[in-house]
Amino acid sequence: MSALDTGVIVAIGNDQESTTPRAWVGCLSCYNSGSLFGKWIDGVECDDLESAGIATMETVGEYSAYRCVKCFGDEFSVMDHENFLGLITGECSTTEAAEAARQLADIADDEREIVIAWLSNGMKFDLETMRDSYIGEYSSDQDMAEEYISGTGMLDDAPEFLARYFDYESFARDLMHDIFEVSGHYFRSY
């Protein structure tokens, strides 16, 4: 008796190090009948259930729909997912998951943590706005303020003895009125 015959889900070859968005797409008719039938697939392929082997495409007149290869049901859902960086949460449609995965494909590996910080602050997924708003990663508000002063050259013309009395902590507090920070990542608030 196989795992499919008993309705048990077995994760085989799940690459825990992967950053590829993946989703477990299942047939809702099978689920409502007490059976789990579905498969883990790459997120960008969530809207191609025929290639995934869990459905066939049926066309009647102008209407086309995927049909489950097990029960012939026509409703599918993403019941679990990983590596979507918070862009989708909970269960969703296969189309929504595929669209989110395609958006995430534009993210460089070194930006993943930045995107997570951006989204966790309730910001909308917009890579261009995020990239324009991103200031950098710092260990404290004061470190960020010191880098800002150094980068802009604000104190370059001040005599050295006077510049050492500059209050970076106070300046950082003022800067933070227009900046937000999540897990050490600093963004401008537009």
Number of domains the chain is built from: 2
Q: Is residue 118 part of a domain?
A: no
pLDDT at 12: 39
pLDDT at 17: 65
Q: From first to last of its 190 residues, what are the pLDDT tens digits of the chain?
A: 334 443 434 343 444 567 899 999 999 999 999 999 999 999 999 999 999 999 999 988 898 899 999 999 999 999 999 999 888 888 999 999 999 999 898 888 889 899 999 998 889 888 899 999 999 999 999 999 999 999 999 898 888 888 888 999 999 999 999 999 999 999 998 7
Question: What's the domain range around 92?
Answer: 3-105
- φ, ψ (nearest 5 deg) of residue 67: -125, 135
- 20 and 64 in a single domain? The answer is yes
- 70 and 17 in a single domain? The answer is yes
Q: List the beta bridge partners of residue 26.
A: 38, 77
pLDDT at 63: 85
- 76 and 153 in a single domain? The answer is no
- 11 and 92 in a single domain? The answer is yes
Q: Is residue 10 part of a domain?
A: yes
Q: Is residue 113 part of a domain?
A: no
Q: Is residue 121 part of a domain?
A: no
Three-class secondary structure of residue 52 per DSSP: helix
Residue with tokens 């797409």: 25
Q: Is residue 122 part of a domain?
A: no
* CATH code of the domain covering residue 179: 1.10.10
Angle between helices 168-175 and 141-152 (to 10 degrees): 90
Structure tokens at 63: 């209407």
pTM for this entry: 0.70
